[in-house]
């Protein structure tokens, strides 16, 4: 099983890891506005940990379709009070969902241990930041040709002298793909998990359109069933981390699926 090196610790994928989503934005597609208040965000982070999350992924800039980008200063103004208030209060690592290098550096200085970059760029400085800091780095495939992108990403990491064990590869559901291509990426997981066996493979389909697209579509707050089904299929096909909003339900499903996959 792959080991993910992140700052002062390593996460083992001997069981499926659960990354919990915490958006401190007013406009994220699912929970925008719910945790803009730092006190609410801190309370939510502690709840997510108690529910069984292995990582808390905090985002302060929406990447939903049609989003309006905010400056690095505004993004940091949303993040900083939450990271400060959480210092020393979580036993699980904090990930920061950002594609701005200046925000990434500040977040690591404030205690974050993982950078979750959904930009798809391999030239925005994140590889070097992770190499210098020792932080974990999530690299997201922004294209339907996931395997070719992962090959390119790992070659770029080698050039930046970034230890491959610090890298988690996200197949990028909803990023640069239509719904049929999302499903093709899911079907490709057995091949991807064999080809990239040393990397942690992550799938994040939580509440995304693909989860109910083939059942006639449902509102964002009624996509739990499709989300659990998608992630269960992904686990069975080789994913070792799932990124979710609904942590308690995800943990229940993940543990059951782990037992099934292992044949225990």
CA separation, residue 207 to residues 71, 157, 159, 195, 198 (Å) = 26, 31, 36, 28, 28
| Paired sense of beta strands 17-23 and 241-244, if any | parallel
- Tell me which of 44, 177, 208, 223 is the catalytic residue: 208
Q: How many CB atoms lie within 10 A of CB 221?
A: 10
Active site residue 243: yes
* Phi-psi domain of 263 (left: phi exceeds 0; alpha: psi -120 through 50; beta: other): left
Active site residue 164: no
Structure tokens at 207: 């509440």
**What are the helix and strand counts (H, E) for the chain?**
10, 10
Catalytic residue numbers read 208, 243
């Amino acid at each position: 099983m792959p080991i993910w090196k992140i700052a002062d610790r390593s996460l083992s994928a001997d069981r499926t890891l659960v990354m919990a989503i915490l958006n401190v934005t007013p406009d994220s597609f699912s929970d925008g506005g719910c945790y803009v208040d730092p006190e609410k965000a801190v309370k939510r982070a502690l709840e997510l940990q108690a529910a069984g999350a292995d990582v808390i992924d905090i985002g302060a800039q929406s990447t939903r379709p049609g989003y309006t980008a905010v400056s690095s200063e505004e993004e940091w103004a949303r993040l900083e009070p939450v990271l400060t208030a959480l210092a020393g209060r979580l036993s699980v690592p904090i990930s920061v969902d950002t594609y701005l290098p200046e925000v990434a550096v500040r977040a690591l200085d404030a205690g974050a241990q993982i950078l979750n970059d959904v930009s798809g760029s391999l030239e925005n400085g994140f590889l070097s930041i992770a190499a210098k800091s020792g932080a974990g780095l999530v690299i997201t495939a922004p294209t339907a040709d996931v395997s070719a992108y992962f090959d390119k990403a790992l070659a770029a990491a080698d050039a930046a002298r970034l230890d491959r064990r610090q890298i988690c590869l996200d197949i990028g559901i909803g990023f640069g793909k239509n719904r049929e291509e999302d499903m093709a990426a899911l079907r490709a997981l057995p091949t991807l998990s064999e080809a990239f066996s040393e990397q942690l493979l992550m799938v994040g389909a939580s509440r995304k359109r693909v989860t109910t697209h083939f059942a006639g579509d449902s509102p964002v707050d009624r996509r739990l069933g499709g989300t659990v089904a998608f992630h269960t299929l992904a686990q069975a096909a080789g994913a070792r981390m799932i990124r979710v909003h609904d942590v308690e339900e995800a943990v229940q499903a993940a543990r059951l699926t782990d037992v099934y996959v292992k044949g225990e």
